[in-house]
Amino acid sequence: MPRATSHNAKSERRDAILAAAADAFDRLGFAATSMEWLAERAGVAKGTLYLYFPTKEAVFLALYIRELDAWFERVDQALEKLPVDASTRLAGELADTLQQQPRLPPLAAILHTVLERNIGEAALLSFRRHLLTRISTTGAVLETRLSFLAAGDGARLLLRLHALIIGCWHAATPAPIARRVVERPELAPLRLDFSEELENTLVLLLEGWRHSGGGF
Amino acid sequence: MPRATSHNAKSERRDAILAAAADAFDRLGFAATSMEWLAERAGVAKGTLYLYFPTKEAVFLALYIRELDAWFERVDQALEKLPVDASTRLAGELADTLQQQPRLPPLAAILHTVLERNIGEAALLSFRRHLLTRISTTGAVLETRLSFLAAGDGARLLLRLHALIIGCWHAATPAPIARRVVERPELAPLRLDFSEELENTLVLLLEGWRHSGGGF
Amino acid sequence: MPRATSHNAKSERRDAILAAAADAFDRLGFAATSMEWLAERAGVAKGTLYLYFPTKEAVFLALYIRELDAWFERVDQALEKLPVDASTRLAGELADTLQQQPRLPPLAAILHTVLERNIGEAALLSFRRHLLTRISTTGAVLETRLSFLAAGDGARLLLRLHALIIGCWHAATPAPIARRVVERPELAPLRLDFSEELENTLVLLLEGWRHSGGGF
Amino acid sequence: MPRATSHNAKSERRDAILAAAADAFDRLGFAATSMEWLAERAGVAKGTLYLYFPTKEAVFLALYIRELDAWFERVDQALEKLPVDASTRLAGELADTLQQQPRLPPLAAILHTVLERNIGEAALLSFRRHLLTRISTTGAVLETRLSFLAAGDGARLLLRLHALIIGCWHAATPAPIARRVVERPELAPLRLDFSEELENTLVLLLEGWRHSGGGF
DNA sequence: AATGAATGAGGATTCATTCAT
DNA sequence: TATGAATGAATCCTCATTCAT
């Protein structure tokens, strides 16, 4: 392995690890992924992993952050093109952005219960600050697209959307074993499509917001 | 230990185990609870646990079912007293029922990612059927309280509420280590109160539903 | 593996583990012995080890206790046969008992720095109490053999002997690599024989004690 | 970092490392000290450490040598002032010198089991030779203060003292966890004070030596 | 001489589950 | 039905040391 001396080379190595993590997450999920697998896949020694990330959770949190940043950008772009107060279309666009980043919802689903539990307090603080900045910025953009949103409502809406993503993903994604069970016609009402459910709920939410005149 | 021969005695023993599980969940959470702890607390041997439940997850799923049943009853009662189309009050009442069963949201939060992953297919089927029945029944009641709900919308709403509970609980419950971080004034916007957040979102959702004229 | 149900069978299994530990200690020493090696050698699964001993250190502390008990008995027997105030012979006999238990000194040498560091406080207390009892009992016997020992001096002498054993063993036992170095004729003065050194020092100590008229 | 080109500058850097090691040993002990900590503290890079010392053990052996040399000088000075055959006072003075170098006993305690195990054979030889010289020199001085010491007895006595230091330190220094246990009044007899125990034993040893007429 | 990125061996411990009694 | 002894898989992380730059 060539030594990553320059800032650039280090960044590239970090990227390689995250790429391995992305691959692992898609195939195996967080729990089933071992640091050893990651190391092999990234082409580094196990110890080298810990030069770049303090814990396993930190690796996947970094992955989440990367996905999240990409998503916010995607959202920003989508919002720009949108007319004002087209809340239904807006909901659709948001759902679309998530379909283009299928890794984001399952990562969000373990964010609070797993990822945030074993990174340092410093890393946590940094992540949360970053999150707040992103939410605030995109929240402000959101406020320009929905006239019924008061100042600060944009961020609130995004936070709520975040919760919605987690909840819908959980509700719509049965365990592998549960898949078969839910296929039964009798249980059809319990079968949800993540994207659809999210979009529908979001439409209702926005509609409600519009008619409520704020205060949430 | 006297042998539990009669159906009654067996049921009592099962209850003792679930009581231990409830206590353990409140104090330690699912992951930190060991079958050994449960056995000691329930006054049985470790092996005996497996006469009553096939897996650790099954124990906590049973606990969840118990909590869920109690909750549905609570909801039914609350709904009965409610005037028609008092959606804001209804949201408040629903949030209240959850505050009276603080164990339900955190159990729901691990339902799909943990509990359902390691029980037999049979148990899963049985649980899902039970769930559907409960949701349908209470959903029907709900439809009598909200005139804008079409047939089947009650169940759909409850399912959506379920997702909301999970999402809000995740978003509002930081890891112990994260607690301190979120206390910082600068991060106040990221600090959510579960019950409040749930209620607010629900209000918006219902309001939206009312104005949308169905179709979700 | 047959299950060790009876108290007896359990004791036998414990013995088997300790036998494996004794073998391992002689061959590999504490640090180089792994719990895996121990388990294989004892014919049990790794987890089973932890049914009998809470930590690796606890295994070897148990071994030490066993050696120590045997040693105290050996000492008691040796003392019985001895005439009064034959301090030089007594020193020789004591050195002999140690030569018959070659495992004791090297175990003592890591007692305080290693073994006592990772067993529970309860186990530590129990060990120390046991040690005190043993030391007091044999100390009393010692006082009957050496007329110049006041009440309590027997225990004190044994404690001092304990320190001597540790010190002499360290000083007389060079690291494997150091063996060759010390063989050089020029370094002969640094070459010590454990048993001889211990005996000589003990003779001096006793002689000094005899002439000092107590107070130590 | 400026390059240490001159012999002097190199020596200074070596000193800085040893100063860091001394600090680390006092605070953390050998095992808990990492080369990284040492490097940071000494203001050099990790790799630089290995330009000055071949292994971690070599660092602390060098520290030990330094302490030992200082100690021998201290002893020489103390002996000079002493009248002949004041063996009790002499024991007291020796104990004093150790109290003034509190780092020496714990370093001696790991000398044979740890430090000497991972330095090259050459370093070992050099250390042992140095030790022998020191012991011989100061041993000769000792022989002038104690008339009952034959030629060579001085060195022998110092070697024996070395073993005593190690043994007493082990016996008197319980593991942190053991501290509490030994505080119990019932276990008071097992509680030793290093300096006191060493001095008392030394007094007895010298007294015995005096009366024995040599031969040890 | 100095750096610091890379290495990779190494091991105790937990705990859900099984099954002989 | 109850027990509890036995199992054994499963893995994160540390850190002394090396060596390319």
**Chains C and B physically touch (3 or more Cβ atom pairs below 8 Å):** no
D9 vs D40: CA distance, rounded Å: 18
Q: Using CA atoms, how far apart are residues C104 and C94, in angstroms rounded to an integer?
A: 13
Distances from the Cα of A213 to the Cα of A155, B204, C192, angstroms? 17, 10, 92
Give residue B216's pLDDT: 63
Q: Does C92 touch chain D (CB under 8 A)?
A: no
Contact B92, B54 (CB under 8 A): no
3-state secondary structure of A114: coil
| Beta carbons within 8 Å of C1's beta carbon, 6+ residues apart | C43, C44, C45, C48
Whether CB of D3 is under 7 Å from strand E: the answer is yes
- Nearest-CB residue to B124 (from A111, A152, A181): A181
Q: What is d(CA D26, CA B153) in angstroms, rounded to the nearest whole number?
A: 71
CB-based contact B111 A205, cutoff 8 Å: no
Task: For residue D7, say whether its CB is under 7 Å from any atom of strand E.
Answer: no
What is the token pair recorded at C31?
Answer: 């640090």
Which residues 8-67 in chain B show a CB within 8 A of chain A?
none
Question: How sure is the predictor about A215, in pLDDT bands with cuts at 50, 70 and 90?
Answer: low
Chain C residues whose beta carbon lies within 8 Å of the beta carbon of residue D106: none
Chain A: nearest CA to B42, how far in angstroms? 27
D93 closest CA partner among D127, D26, D142: D142
Please tell me if residue A200 touches chain B, with a CB cutoff of 8 Å: yes
pLDDT tens across the length of chain D (216 residues): 778 888 898 999 999 999 999 999 999 999 999 999 999 999 999 999 999 999 999 999 999 999 999 999 999 999 999 999 999 999 999 999 999 999 999 999 999 999 999 999 999 999 999 999 999 999 999 999 999 999 999 999 999 999 999 999 999 999 988 999 999 999 999 999 999 999 999 999 999 999 987 666
Is D166 an interface residue toward C (CB < 8 Å)?
yes
- CA of residue D142 to C1' of nucleotide F13, angstroms: 52
Interchain pair D132, C182: CB under 8 A = no
Among chain C residues, CA nearest to D163: C167
Interface test with A, best of B149, B183, B205 (most A CBs within 10 A): B205
Cα–Cα distance measured from residue D216 to residue D213, given in angstroms and rounded to the nearest whole number? 9
Whether the CB of C148 is less than 7 Å away from nucleic strand E comes out as: no
Nearest to A32 by CA among A56, A50, A49: A56
Q: What phi, psi does B2 have (nearest 5°)?
A: -70, 145
Q: What is the residue-wise DSSP string for D46-82?
A: HHHHHHH-SSHHHHHHHHHHHHHHHHHHHHHHHHHHS
- Average pLDDT, stretch A91-108? 98
Q: Chain E positions under 7 Å from a protein CB?
A: 1-21
List of chain B residues whose C-beta atoms are within 8 Å of the C-beta of residue A124: 177-178, 181
Q: Give the best residue of D158, D201, D203 to mutate against chain C (max C CB count within 10 A).
A: D201
**Cβ-contact C160, D201 below 8 angstroms:** yes
Distance, in Å, from the CA atom of D164 to the CA atom of D201, rounded to the nearest integer, reads 8
DSSP per residue over C146-207, as a string?
Answer: -TT--TTHHHHHHHHHHHHHHHHHHHH---HHHHHHHHSGGGGGG---HHHHHHHHHHHHHH
Q: Do D125 and C184 touch (CB under 8 A)?
A: yes
Residue range C7-59, pLDDT digits in tens: 999 999 999 999 999 999 999 999 999 999 999 999 999 999 999 999 999 99
- pLDDT attached to residue C160: 97
For residue B214, what pLDDT band results from cuts at 50, 70 and 90? low
Distance D50 CA to E1 C1' (A): 11
**Residue C99 CA: distances (Å) to CA of A137, C202, D179:** 79, 15, 31
Report the nucleotide nearest the CA of residue D45, measured to C1'.
E3
Give the pLDDT of residue B64. Answer: 98
Would you state the structure tokens that stand for residue B46, as one six-digit string?
């470790």
User: Nearest Cα to D201, choosing from D156, D165, D173?
Assistant: D165
> Which residue's alpha carbon is at the shortest distance from the C1' of E19?
B47
User: Taking CB atoms and an 8 Å cutoff, what residues of chain C touch D136?
Assistant: 189
C159-169 per-position pLDDT tens digit: 999 999 999 99
For A121, the closest of B162, B181, B190 (CB atoms) is B181
CB D46 within 8 A of CB D39: yes
The structure tokens 């043994």 sit at D167
The CA-atom distances, in angstroms, between D53 and each of A52, C68, D46, D80, D119 are 28, 40, 11, 35, 9
How confident is the model at residue C158, as a pLDDT?
A: 98
> Contact, B175 vs A117, CB < 8 A?
yes
| Chain D residues touching residue C159 (CB < 8 angstroms) | 171, 189-190, 192
- Rounded-to-integer distance, Cα D197 and Cα D167, Å: 10
The Cα–Cα gap between C30 and C52 comes to 18
pLDDT recorded at residue B1: 73
What one-character-per-residue DSSP string does C105-152 give? HHHHHHHTTTGGGGS-HHHHHHHHHHHHHHHHHHHHHHHHH-TT--TT
pLDDT at residue B215, rounded to an integer = 63
C191 touches chain D (CB under 8 A): no
Q: Which residue has the least CA–C1' distance to nucleotide E14?
A: C47
Q: b/e per residue, A115-127, with b = 16+ CB within 10 A? A: bbbebeeebbbeb
Alpha carbons D84 and D145: distance in angstroms, whole number: 4
B124: chain A residues, CB-CB within 8 Å: 177-178, 181
Angstrom CA distances, A158 to A94, A134, A163, B108, stand at 11, 10, 9, 23
Q: Which residue reads 């990790």 in tokens?
A: D46
CATH number of B56-212: 1.10.357.10
Strand E close residues, chain C 106-145, CB < 7 angstroms: 118
Q: What is the largest CA-CA distance in chain C?
A: 61
Gap from C98 CA to chain D (nearest CA, Å): 16
Q: Which residue of B has its CA nearest to A188?
A: B132
What is the reported pLDDT for A205? Answer: 96
Contact A111, A64 (CB under 8 A): yes
Å from the D201 CA to the E10 C1': 42
Identify the CA nearest to D98 among candidates D120, D75, D116. Answer: D75
Q: What is the mean pLDDT of chain A?
A: 95
Entry field: residues in chain B: 216
Inspect the interface and report whether the beta carbons of D205 and C204 lie closer than 8 Å: yes
The confidence band for C214, taking pLDDT boundaries of 50, 70 and 90, is: low
Asked if A touches C (at least 3 Cβ pairs < 8 angstroms), the answer reads no
Which bases of chain F are under 7 A from a protein CB atom?
1-21
Tell me if chain B has a CB within 8 Å of the CB of A195.
Answer: no
Contacts of C174 in chain D (CB under 8 A): 112, 116
- Average model confidence (pLDDT) for chain D? 95
Give domain limits for chain D: 1-52, 56-212
pLDDT > 70 fraction of chain A, expressed in percent and rounded: 99
**Local confidence band at B6 (pLDDT 50, 70, 90 cut-offs):** confident
Side-chain half-sphere of C158: how many Cα atoms within 13 Å?
23
Token digits of residue C119? 């067993």
Q: Which CATH class is domain A1-52?
A: mainly alpha
Q: Which amino acid is at B20?
A: A
* Residue D109 and residue C169 in contact, taking contact as beta carbons nearer than 8 Å: no
CB contact under 8 A, A112 and B173: yes
Q: Name all chains with 3 or more CB-CB pairs below 8 Å to chain A.
A: B
Contacts of C117 in chain D (CB under 8 A): 175-177
* Neighboring chain A residues of B149 at a CB cutoff of 8 Å: none
* Identity of residue C55: T
Is a pLDDT exceeding 80 seen at residue A1?
no
Interface subset of A 116-155, CB within 8 angstroms of B: 116-117, 121, 124-125, 128-129, 131-132, 135-136, 152, 155
Q: Is the CB of A44 under 7 A from strand E?
A: yes
Q: Do domains A1-52 and A56-212 have the same CATH topology?
A: no
D205/C205 Cβ within 8 A: yes
Instruction: Flag if D216 and C205 touch (Cβ within 8 Å).
Output: no
Element (H, E) at D150: none
| pLDDT tens per residue across span B79-103 | 999 999 999 999 999 999 999 999 9
Cα of D44 to nearest chain C Cα, Å: 30
B178 CB near a chain A CB, below 8 Å?
A: yes
* Model confidence pLDDT, tens digit, residues C120-174: 999 999 999 999 999 999 999 999 999 999 999 999 999 999 999 999 999 999 9
Given this model, what pLDDT does residue B177 score? Answer: 86
Q: Say yes or no to pLDDT of B21 above 70.
A: yes
Answer whether C174 sits within 8 Å of D112, measured CB to CB.
yes
Task: Please give the structure tokens belonging to residue D108.
Answer: 């001696």
**What are the CA-CA distances from residue C130 to residues C59, C125, C133, D174 (Å)?**
17, 8, 5, 16
- Reported in sequence order, the residue ranges of chain D that DSSP labels E, i.e. its strands, are none
CA of C31 to C1' of E10 (A): 12
Confirm whether any atom of chain E, the nucleic acid strand, is less than 7 Å from CB of C87: no
DSSP helix, strand, coil percent of chain A (3-state; round to 5): 80, 0, 20
pLDDT surpasses 70 at C216: no
Tens of pLDDT, residue by residue over B161-203, are 999 999 999 999 999 889 999 999 999 999 999 999 999 999 9
Whether the CB of C197 is below 8 Å from some CB of chain D: the reply is yes
